[in-house]
Each structure stands twice: as structure tokens, then as C-alpha cells.
Amino acid sequence: MRELEKLYNRIVQRVNINLRELDFDVIPFARELIPPDQMTKFYAFYGITPDHPLDLHFKHSALAGSYFLGKCRINNSLLYKSDIRGDELKRKKQVFRYQNFEIPLTTDEVIAIEDSILVKTLVHNFSHDPETAEKFFIKNTLAMDYSNIHGAPSDGCFLGPFATVDLTTMRDCAIGCYSYVQAGEINHLRTAPGTIWVNSPGNFNFLYSYPTEALAHYVSFSPENVPWGVLFDFIEDRKDAFQRVFDFVNLDAIESIPDTASLDRFAVVLPKTRIEDNVLVAQRAYLENSILGKGANAQENCFIINSHLEGLNVTAHGAKIIEANLETGVFVGFNSFLYGKPESKLNIGKGSIIMPHTIIDIDETLEIPADHMVWGLVRNDKELAENSIALEQLVKVETSFSRGKMHFEGRGKLFVKAFKDRIHHILDVNGAFYDGDKNEGHAQRNQNLSLNTIQPFHFGEMEGMYPDIQIQP
Amino acid sequence: MENSSVKDLMIPISEYATVVLGTPLADAVTALEKAQEAYTASKYQHRAILVLDNNDNVVGKIGQLRVLEAIEPEYDVKDKIKELNHYNFSEEYQAQLRNKYRSEVPILKTEQLKVIATKKVEEFMQKPSSGEFVAESCTLDTAIHKLVAGRHQSLLVTRKEKIIGILRMTDVFAAVFHEIRVFDV
């Protein structure tokens, strides 16, 4: 048995041991996860920048097509086309504040991935867990295609395709496909596909459950089949465009990008796209015939097609915006799928919040008014009425309300504030408010980024594995 | 009264409404009606049905509240509410939602009642708990203690391993009340 296969079997067993209490077996889902020949086909790469520590350790791992930035330790793991983005990790001598605790950091925070399989997964942000402030760990975990592990230390977990766990420490959990969880800490939890849960104990609790059959049209997976659905087809149809940017080590720079904006060299930009000041476009983003106004951003695995973002728009990891016009300050959450059509545009008013994992799929023009919050599945005006609320109305909720398949308990004012604060923070760290002097962020700093590649063993017992490597300045 | 035992007040099982496993609810209700018509020993009528297995052993009981619960669309509600338990929603919120769901679904709908009438008794019978049995030779003191501690409407009276009758709270109460009444204070 080759080393790659041994490693794969070892990790799958470890994940299963952790999930035995949930009676969840990952083997049927993991069987066809990564064809071994793919593991030699793609090189791995890492960023070098004066703004973040260069401190990478790879040991007994396979890293095909994956990207690393900052301080990362990868041990006994199998990564495939994943982004391990350590540009928001905490730094030595910083003080991490959590409730009434002030925790001084004695070392730079590290992303430590151990005994895990990550497939097309984004790892970003930092550990929000005061018990592990200097180590953002991911161990004994299997994350499937397009999942996001965002500020979420994980031990013994499974994330289905397009699942996101955000600012939450998770242990022994199975997160269903297209589920979004932000709950601080979760243990031994198994969520059904399409569960959207945002919980801040004592403040608010939001829960929406997708209708099972309707969600299956967009994202589905079963032990017998590879994952399928409209979302997979949508990405598959555009796969070739990424081939060119990954095939060439040096691509010609696109000259029309303003000095204050950043376009990653592993993003796809097709005509006629206009990028204005303070815009951030991350790797694996796809832009086509669109305008990104001042301070807008497109994060990893985003698709923005035939759309106009007026400015200060957050397009979070994995969000897709097609045939849409977004006024200023519109937020589109993780993995949302806004699917307008050429004859039926989607128009979203100023300051509206499209919650993470929202699907808007329309055949007639749809107008979302300014300052609204939208969630769940929206295919027409009737579903919009059922799955949205004016922010002005939400801030008045003092105890609870339910609407359609959504439940909310707590104070609406705190829920809105949490979102608004976070949106402002994202724009700030991305450099959207840069004035030529102050408020510099990723959009400006990423200009100082260069990339190096590393290659796997191509032959023999170690085929597909990478040599043990330490990379430091 | 001090020397009374359970067997002095119990109703023999032969005088009680009984049905066998597999009986539809509609037939069980008819059996209760018939038993009530035939029972003249007390002004308090039977209010429960005993469910027997093929060997005439009592395996369950159906009270009036249990029947009303069965015709309520409770089971659908339970599924909806169950999910919220996993996601930190408060008891108050769940209770509020339960009431909301219940009020949205009419109970006395012909179609709903038809479905309930054909359901088998085992789907909603209550299995007797360990505190629900009392031996026929026990004193009324013991029986009263068991009724009060377990909040039971009745106890199943046993002789060795066999259930031979029912001791109803109404009969125990009537007997106790009769004794109290003689003290004219």
C-alpha cells in the first residue's frame, strides 16, 4: 500500500472514532473524495510578504493545489486545493480580549492541521477560543468540497460540502452539507443539511432549516454518489477558466487595477470587469463582466458575473452573485448563491444583509428593499416576504418571533448590531476605508505578496506526498 | 377502615372495560360504553380501558386524557419542536410555539377523527409503571400512599403475578370521605 493511501485510511479511521457516538460513518462519503492521480497533478504554493510571519512546517502530508500564508503547521494530513490563509492570525505581544479576560500572547498564533483531510476548504481568521488563543487547531477532521472553517478550531469533525463553521470551536460534530453554524462552542452535534444556526447565548438565537427536497436541487450528496446539484454544476462549468491561472507560474499583470486595490494572481478576471479603489479580490475568485465599486471585495471561491457592486460590499467566502445589482453596503454572506438571470435581474437595496448560505434563484426580477435582512430559500416575491425582515422591524424584537421555517429568540437589536459590527470589521481589515494614508488593509498590503511553489514526489511509494519541509525567512 | 384492604374496594377485572391488543380505538371506546352501562355498583363510572395481551395479561391502560391527546395533532408538533431542543431555544419559546402550532391545526376535523378511530390501541396506550401495582392483600394505607406519590388515577391490583382488578382513586376517596364525615366538627 502506498504512503498516500495509508495516510488516507489512518485519517478516516481517526475521524470515525471521534464520531462514533453520533453513529456517523464518514467512509462512504470519503471513498471517492480524492482520486490519487489528482494528488500529483497540482503543485502547492505559499505567500511571502513582509506583513505576516513566514513560518511553514509540512510533515508527512499531501498538499496538492493548496495555498499557505503565515504561520502554519501541517502534519499527517491530506489537503486538496485548500486555502490555509493565516493573514488574520493573532501576533506575539498582542492582548486577546475575551469577555472579562485579557490574554497576553507569548507567541504568534499558528494554524495547526493534524490528521485531517481538507478538500477545497478555506481555513481563515483566527481562534476565538480563549482556551486555545495561540493555536487554531484542526485535527481528526474531514472537510468536504467548498466548506469553510472560519475562526473555528475543530477536533473530530465532519463538514459536508458547502458547510461553514464560523467563530465556533467544535468537537465531535457532523455538520450537514450547506449548513452554517456560528455558536461559540459546539460538542457532539449533528446538523441536518441546510441548517442555518447563529447563536450568541443570552443575546440572540437564529435558526432556519432549508426544505429538504428544495435544497437537494442545489446541493446534494449521498454515500452512493459524488456530490451533485446546481451549485456543483455552476462551478464545474467554469473550471477551465482557472486552469490558465494555475498552469502558468508568471502571468502578465492586469494594468487597469488601481494602486489601492489588490487582485490575486490566482483569481480569474474576464472582460469587461472594472475594479475600483480599495477593492480586494482573493485567490480562486472569479469575476466576469462586472463592476466592483470602491471598497468592495470578493473573497475566496466567490463568483461575480454580469453584476454591479456599487461599493463597500462584502462578498464573503464562497458567495456567488450572478446578474445582480447591489447598492452600497450590501453584505452577502458565506456560500450564498444569488442567481439572477439576464431577463430577471436581482436588485438589492443599500445596507441590506443577505445572511450566510442564502439561495436566491429567480425567473422574474426581484427587488430587495434597502436595509433588509434576507435568509433561506427565495425564488419569488412570496418567499421573499416569508424569508426577510426590515432591519427597522427586527431591532424592535425584544423576545422572539418566528416566520416560515425561521425561529428567532432574543433581542433583534443585538442581532443586527452583531452583523453590522462584523461587516464594518471585514471592510476595515480588507482596506475598504483606505484614504491613501490611514486604514490600510489586505487590499493594500497584499500588493507586497509574492508566491513560491512546492512540488510532491512524482514516483515511488511516496507519490503524491510532499517532502517534509520547513520554510522560514 | 383501619383494617380495610385493597381487595375490599377494588373492581374485579371482569367488570372493567377491557380490549385486546390490535383493537381499533373506536371499538375500545364502545367497550368502555358497554362496561359503564353494566356497572351499577358505584355512581362513579369507569373512565379507563385496560389493554390485554393474548394471555389475558394487562399490558396497558388508556385513560380519557390519553384519547384526547391522540386526537390532538401533537405528534407533528413534537417533530417540529424536537429540533429546537438541539439548538438552545428556551422552554418558554418552545411552549409558545407549541401553542401556536396547535391553534393553527383544527382538532375536530372529520378526516382526522376517522384516522384516529382506526388506530390500534397499542399506539397510544400507557404501559403501567412499577409504582402502579398494588397487591390485593395490602392495606388501604399503602394504596393511598401509592396513589398520592405516583399521582395515579387508579392502581392495578395483583394476586401473585396476575392482575385481578383495579383500585380507583374515586372509590378510595369516597371511602375515606365517608369516614371523615362522621366526625361532626
Q: Tell me the average pLDDT across A35-56.
A: 89
Beta bridge partners of A138: A113, A154
Most confident of A238-247, A400-409, A442-451, B52-61: A400-409
Is A36:A145 a contact under the CB 8 Å cutoff?
no
B86–A205: do the CB atoms touch at under 8 Å?
no
Length of chain B: 185
pLDDT digits (tens, 9 = 90+) for A383-414: 999 999 999 999 999 999 999 999 999 999 99
pLDDT digits (tens, 9 = 90+) for A83-114: 999 999 999 999 999 888 999 999 999 999 99
Residue in B closest to A403 by C-alpha = B97
Alpha carbon distance A27, A369 (integer Å): 46
pLDDT of residue A254: 58
Is A446:A49 a contact under the CB 8 Å cutoff?
yes
Q: Is the CB of A207 inside 8 Å of chain B's CB atoms? A: yes
Q: Which of A180, A143, A153 is nearest to A165 (CA)?
A: A180
CB-nearest to A400 from B86, B87, B93 is: B93
C-alpha distances in angstroms, A213 versus A178, A194, A233, A430? 13, 11, 18, 37
pLDDT digits (tens, 9 = 90+) for A334-389: 999 999 999 999 999 999 999 999 999 999 999 999 999 999 999 999 999 999 99
Which residues of B make CB contacts under 8 Å with A? 83-84, 86-90, 93, 96-97, 100
Q: Mind listing the pLDDT tens digit of every residue in chain B (185 residues)?
A: 667 789 888 988 888 889 999 999 889 888 888 877 777 666 667 778 889 998 888 888 888 777 777 776 655 566 677 788 889 999 999 888 888 877 777 777 777 788 888 889 888 788 888 889 999 999 989 999 999 998 888 899 999 888 899 999 988 998 888 878 777 66
Residue in A closest to B97 by C-alpha = A402
Confidence check: pLDDT of A249 > 60:
no
pLDDT of residue B185: 61
Confidence of residue A427 (pLDDT cuts 50, 70, 90): very high
CB-nearest to A409 from B83, B93, B100 is: B93
Alpha carbon distance A445, A450 (integer Å): 11
- Residues 6 or more apart from A353 whose CB is under 8 A from it? A330, A331, A333, A372, A373, A374, A391, A419, A423
User: B80 to chain A, minimum CA–CA distance in Å?
Assistant: 10
pLDDT of residue B2: 64
Q: Give the ipTM.
A: 0.87
A409–B97: do the CB atoms touch at under 8 Å?
no
Q: What domains lie within chain A, and their CATH numbers?
A: 3-163+449-471 (2.160.10.10), 238-446 (2.160.10.10)
Alpha carbon distance A441, B85 (integer Å): 41
Cα A108 to chain centroid, rounded: 23
pLDDT digits (tens, 9 = 90+) for A302-337: 999 999 999 999 999 999 999 999 999 999 999 999
pLDDT of residue A272: 86
Q: Is the CB of A22 inside 8 Å of chain B's CB atoms? A: no
pLDDT of residue A10: 94
| Backbone phi and psi for residue B113, each to the nearest 5 degrees, phi listed first | -65, -35
User: B105 to chain A, minimum CA–CA distance in Å?
Assistant: 16
Compare B109 and A216 and report the one with higher pLDDT: A216
Residue in A closest to B100 by C-alpha = A402
Counting beta carbons within 10 angstroms of the beta carbon of residue A160, is it exposed (0 to 12), middle (13 to 18) or buried (19 or more)? buried
Residue in B closest to A181 by C-alpha = B87
pLDDT of residue A14: 96
Confidence check: pLDDT of A278 > 80:
yes
Compare A69 and A448 and report the one with higher pLDDT: A69
Q: Is the CB of A185 inside 8 Å of chain B's CB atoms? A: no
- Residues 6 or more apart from B21 whose CB is under 8 A from it? B51, B52, B53, B54, B59, B120, B121, B122
Of A199-208, A218-227, A363-372, least confident by mean pLDDT is: A218-227
Q: Tell me the average pLDDT across A35-45.
A: 85
3-state secondary structure of A20: helix
pLDDT of residue B74: 58
CB-nearest to A205 from B89, B96, B100 is: B89
Computed over every residue of chain A, the mean pLDDT equals: 92
Residue in B closest to A182 by C-alpha = B87
Alpha carbon distance A193, A177 (integer Å): 5
Kindly list the strands in the beta sheet with B58-62, ordered across the sheet, starting from the edge strand earlier in the chain. Answer: B18-20, B49-52, B58-62
Q: What domains lie within chain B, and their CATH numbers?
A: 6-68+120-181 (3.10.580.10), 73-106 (no CATH)
Q: Which of A151, A440, A120 is nearest to A280 (CA)?
A: A440
Confidence of residue A117 (pLDDT cuts 50, 70, 90): very high
Is A322:A339 a contact under the CB 8 Å cutoff?
yes
Is A452:A46 a contact under the CB 8 Å cutoff?
yes
